[in-house]
Chain A
Amino acid sequence: MYSKDGENYFIVDAHIALWDARPENQRNIHGKQFIDCFYDYHRNLSPESELWTYEEYLYQGGERLMKDLFTDGYVDHAIFQPAYLGEFYHRGFGQTEEAYGLAAANPDKLTYNHCFDPRQGEAGLDQLRADHERMGFKGVKLYTAEWHGDSRGYKLSDPWTYRYFEECRKLGVRNIHVHKGPTIRPLDRDAFDVSDVDHAASDFTDLNFVVEHVGLPRLEDFCWIATQEPNVHGGLAVAMPFMHSRPRYFAQIIGELIYWIGEDRIQFSSDYALWTPKWLVERFVDFQIPEDMTEYGQLTVQQKKKILGLNAAKMYDIPVPEELRLPDAEETATGPRQPERADLASAR
């Protein structure tokens, strides 16, 4: 929990990882390129005081994770979202067994989400069933730019992905976190396109689709599909640290999200270990839309509380102390949430 100015915030970090990118686990040059790309994100967007060394960045381990999140980071509950990346790392990038073990040992603090790759076909479906029986997860993280043999990406609208969603439905796996990386095939189209999420969300209305990094770099496409599909949510992985380096850009991202999808469908995350939650939580509670951006309303304490934890807690049935709960906003299920703020002209 984080407390400031007499307000208490229940914190759910909805996207964290326990990764191992050390050289001995790198399968090829792409393993190094991948973690170097993450490290450049970290170096580019972090305040100087929060910078880690490259060595620290390669691997953290469970003990460090627990300290960064729960001892130092105000987090009440965090959710693992593993990316497998078997083509880049010998034992995978996200350490699924280690993360599952840590979550099993700390069930009040950690939720383990699993991952699957629809290109594994029938065998993968069997594996999903077996993994679910053993681990009992409620959500999965899908990285659509995952490489797999000759294929360098897939879509949520692919027939095999639908087979997996049908299985998720049967198993009670309701929360599908989607990380849109550059999906390579077919190269003819925009690799970051989120329209496949639109198809899947329309066809599986009983599943929740949480689009991580709110569709960035295609915020506009994400907002447009999310405003039409009541079961599409926005995860703030990667978007949060812009608060520090590009605060006006961040203000516009959050302003657009509140306009298009509303305050009940946005989830905070540090994207640990890309960044740590401590400074992100502190800064977000202090954050405000610049006054000259009259096209957006000022962020309210209630909105911040929902984004920082209550929204994800609700999706995952994480118990929240009675006094910290809030009712849903009276907003439409689809369409813009603040039509009276359709433009700055009406805000004068």
Chain B
Amino acid sequence: MTAVHVDTGARGRAPVGERTVTDDDVRRSLHAVLDPELDEPITELGFVRSIRVGADATTVEVHLRLPTSFCSPNFAYLMASDSKDAISAIPGVRRVVVELDDHHDSELINAGLAADAGYRGTFRHEAEDSLDELRRTFRRKAHTAAMERCLTGLLRADRELPEEDLGTVRLRDLPAGREKEALLRRRTALGLPGDGDACVLVDDEGRTYAPGAVPLALRRARSTRISIDGNAHFCRGLLRTRYEGSGADQAFRAEGSEPADQHGLLPLTVKEHQP
């Protein structure tokens, strides 16, 4: 880690009987915070700029950074407020400051977070109801992309497989591995069944496709996958350009990677804290 303050915890003194909070606790909690658009932990995207646990070992200050000043403020807000919630849930934490740096809405978002104003309290007239539907939209897209990766994997493995047959492929027909696990996770997030009998190619509501509609459904899913992979890599690249050294805080993303991505990035295991 280049950007994260590592000297903490040990020096501070928590009140007797309270748990001492460490950087690792904070980092682990932030690992559960996803960029809703890219469906990846902010810790793997390099969006966590710094973690500082106060001398009392109960106060946490975290700074976040994004690839551009003009990243969409709704996603920026979600990541920042989810970060605050995640850190607040760590036993022993009493006070949390989360700040988003260098964004066109930094002032607005940071003030809203400090006051625990919530989404509507932060954005006032620009917010209507909630960001739940926005999250759902991108959970659906993440599922669509995961589904396409699995099915295209089958096609690439067996060139004789007719595409119409993909409509009846069941979860149990998929080879075990990273892509299947990712699909199962995303099905769970949408409330779709994860048993072996369930069909892989389904719409957002879990409905299957008629044989004639299968090729177009797959093709449409492919455009979603290409889009997400492309964005995930472009965002990573822009962050590295914007913040020198931030590449060391990014995990390698295999999906959508190019030959050039294999060079110049540190192995992802370097940044992971193993329990």
> Is the beta-carbon distance between B131 and A187 smaller than 8 angstroms?
yes
B205 at the interface (CB under 8 A from A): no
Partner pick for B71 among A150, A182, A220, CB 8 A cutoff: A182
B227 proximity list for chain A (CB < 8 A): 216-220
A224 proximity list for chain B (CB < 8 A): 220, 223
Say which size band chain B's interface belongs to.
35 or more
Please judge, given known A-B contacts A150-B125, A152-B126, A186-B126, whether A40 and B256 are in contact too, CB under 8 Å.
Answer: no
CA distance A152 to B222 in the complex (A): 32
B92 at the interface (CB under 8 A from A): no
CA distance A220 to B219 in the complex (A): 10
B138 proximity list for chain A (CB < 8 A): 190
Question: Could you tell me the distance in whole angstroms from the C-beta of A302 to the nearest C-beta in chain B?
Answer: 23
B73 at the interface (CB under 8 A from A): yes
Question: Could you tell me the distance in whole angstroms from the C-beta of B264 to the nearest C-beta in chain A?
Answer: 12
CA distance A259 to B237 in the complex (A): 28
Contacts between the two chains (Cβ within 8 Å), count: 145
A120 at the interface (CB under 8 A from B): no
Partner pick for B219 among A30, A41, A192, A259, CB 8 A cutoff: A259
> Is the beta-carbon distance between A343 and B163 smaller than 8 angstroms?
yes
A346 proximity list for chain B (CB < 8 A): 163, 215
> Is the beta-carbon distance between A188 and B133 smaller than 8 angstroms?
yes
Interface SS of chain B: helix, strand, loop or mixed?
Answer: helix
- Residue-wise, chain B 140-183 has the 8 Å CB interface mask toward A (1 for contact) of 01000000000010011001111100000000000000000000
> Is the beta-carbon distance between B215 and A343 smaller than 8 angstroms?
yes
B2 at the interface (CB under 8 A from A): no
Please judge, given known A-B contacts A185-B126, A216-B230, A217-B227, whether A344 and B156 are in contact too, CB under 8 Å.
Answer: yes
B161 proximity list for chain A (CB < 8 A): 345
A41 proximity list for chain B (CB < 8 A): 238
A184 proximity list for chain B (CB < 8 A): 72-74, 126
A342 at the interface (CB under 8 A from B): yes
Interface centre among B37, B131, B230, B242 (most CB of A within 10 A): B230
CA distance A30 to B69 in the complex (A): 8
- Residue-wise, chain B 100-128 has the 8 Å CB interface mask toward A (1 for contact) of 00101000000000000001000101111
A345 proximity list for chain B (CB < 8 A): 155, 159, 161-163
B269 at the interface (CB under 8 A from A): no
Question: Could you tell me the distance in whole angstroms from the C-beta of A211 to the nearest C-beta in chain B?
Answer: 14
> Is the beta-carbon distance between B226 and A253 smaller than 8 angstroms?
yes
> Is the beta-carbon distance between A33 and B155 smaller than 8 angstroms?
no
Q: 6 tightest CB-CB pairs across the interface, nearest first?
A: A33-B69, A342-B215, A220-B223, A191-B72, A343-B163, A44-B241
User: 17 interchain pairs (CB within 8 A)?
Assistant: A40-B238, A41-B238, A44-B241, A182-B72, A182-B73, A188-B131, A224-B220, A246-B230, A249-B256, A252-B226, A252-B230, A253-B226, A256-B226, A336-B216, A342-B163, A342-B215, A346-B215
Interface residues of B (CB under 8 A from A): 37, 67-74, 77, 102, 104, 119, 123, 125-131, 133-134, 137-138, 141, 152, 155-156, 159-163, 215-216, 218-220, 222-224, 226-227, 229-231, 233-234, 237-238, 240-242, 256, 258, 260
